[in-house]
């Protein structure tokens, strides 16, 4: 059985990606930071549908913990699937903060950098020895890089833009092992990001839907299904691409 690692899979896009990947017969190691109950819900959903999943704690903003995480991954692979490698990595875990350029503190900038750019960079580096040849990676970017330029997101979009560039370099360097690397760039999607902003400010949803060609905001499964396709056989000839999945936002 093939095995995927999905970071930040206790809710939202990560949770959907983990479930959609599992539906295709792939085992899933999913990570959570503070929302353990959500991660256990993800595991329960996968197991209810006949899949296999393991939840492990991980703070992608703390790269010093990555070697210990790799040991936990190796143990889970041996104990659950009888393997010493995995096949797919989804760098999804993230954080959402915004402030106007002149109000962005170094602390906020560094926090976003650690989670959104340094984290995926060094987590992938740490896990690379366990990633099987012929595997695939999906990095979660954002259409704030290419499609939108909303005030307040300069730091966030800078990190996501860096991840988009990193995706191409990963694809180039890992190609000698047959490993494909792509990024998925969601538009506005109904998730828990920014401290459950959609639940706290539902009045913003109609305006966002009006700016979207298909007339609604995105749902986690809109993104999760695409991640599963990119990892699967359908995506076998796709690498070094950033795929916007946004329903035609700002079209």
What was the pLDDT predicted at 220?
95
Choosing from 153, 156, 169, 249, the catalytic residue is 156
CATH number for region 3-245: 3.40.50.720
Distance CA 58, CA 93 (A): 9
Distance CA 57, CA 34 (A): 8
Tens of pLDDT, residues 116-157: 999 999 999 999 999 999 999 999 999 877 667 788 999 999
Contacts of 42 (CB under 8 A, 6+ apart): 9, 10, 15, 18, 19, 30, 53, 55
Domain ranges in the chain are 3-245
Query: Is 32 a residue of the active site?
Result: no
Q: Which residue in 78, 85, 29 sits closest to 52, CA to CA?
A: 29
For residues 241 and 182, the answer to whether their CB atoms sit within 8 Å is: yes
Q: Which residue in 214, 217, 215 sits closest to 191, CA to CA?
A: 217
Tens of pLDDT, residues 201-226: 667 788 888 888 899 989 999 999 99
Tens of pLDDT, residues 155-192: 999 999 999 999 999 999 999 999 999 999 998 887 65
Distance CA 23, CA 17 (A): 10
- Burial status of residue 251 (CB atoms within 10 A of its CB: 0-12, 13-18, 19 or more): exposed
Distance CA 155, CA 226 (A): 26
């Amino acid at each position: 059985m093939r095995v995927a690692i999905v970071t930040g899979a206790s809710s939202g896009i990560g949770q959907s990606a983990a479930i959609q990947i599992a539906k295709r017969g792939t085992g899933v190691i999913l990570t959570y930071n503070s929302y353990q109950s959500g991660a256990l819900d993800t595991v329960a959903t996968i197991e209810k549908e006949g899949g296999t999943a393991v939840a492990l704690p991980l703070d992608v903003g703390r790269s010093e913990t990555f070697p210990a995480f790799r040991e936990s991954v190796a143990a889970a692979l041996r104990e659950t699937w009888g393997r010493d490698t995995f096949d797919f990595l989804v760098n999804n875990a993230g954080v959402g903060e915004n402030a106007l350029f002149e109000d962005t503190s170094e602390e906020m900038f560094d926090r976003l950098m650690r989670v959104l750019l340094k984290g995926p960079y060094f987590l992938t580096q740490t896990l690379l020895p366990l990633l099987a040849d012929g595997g695939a990676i999906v990095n979660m970017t954002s259409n704030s890089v290419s499609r939108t330029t909303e005030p307040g997101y300069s730091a966030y979009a800078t990190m996501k833009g860096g991840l988009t560039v990193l995706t191409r370099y990963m694809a180039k360097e890992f190609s000698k092992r047959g490993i494909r690397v792509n990024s998925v760039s969601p538009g506005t999607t109904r998730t828990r990001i920014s401290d459950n902003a959609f639940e706290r400010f539902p009045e913003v949803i109609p305006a966002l839907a009006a700016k979207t060609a298909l007339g609604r905001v995105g749902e986690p499964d809109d993104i999760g299904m695409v991640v599963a396709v990119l990892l699967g056989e359908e995506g076998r000839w796709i690498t070094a691409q950033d795929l916007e999945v946004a329903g035609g936002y700002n079209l």
